[in-house]
Amino acid sequence: MPRNAVLALVACLLAVAAAVVSFVEGNWLGVVWVLLAGVTSNMAWYYIRRQRAARG
């Protein structure tokens, strides 16, 4: 797996954890964390697909 994909997945997991903590505390800022998790998830898929396409 490409390094960029791994970093994007780590960022996604951290954003999900931050969203959970934020919602548990009753803070609506968790919506931003959920959106960030979506963006980083899409980035990870992009890098994985790009590597697969480069292989042939």
Tell me what pLDDT residue 1 has: 82
Evaluate whether 9 touches 44 at the Cβ level (below 8 Å): yes
| Cα–Cα distance for residue pair 27/14, rounded to 1 Å | 17
Tell me what pLDDT residue 18 has: 97
The pTM of the full predicted model, rounded to 2 decimals, is: 0.88
- Say which residue the tokens 């898929």 belong to: 45
Tell me what pLDDT residue 45 has: 96
What are the tens digits of pLDDT across the range 1-56? Answer: 889 999 999 999 999 999 999 999 999 999 999 999 999 999 999 999 999 999 97
Q: Domain residue spans in the chain? A: 3-55
CA distances from 43 to 5, 7, 10, 26, 29 (A): 7, 10, 11, 28, 22
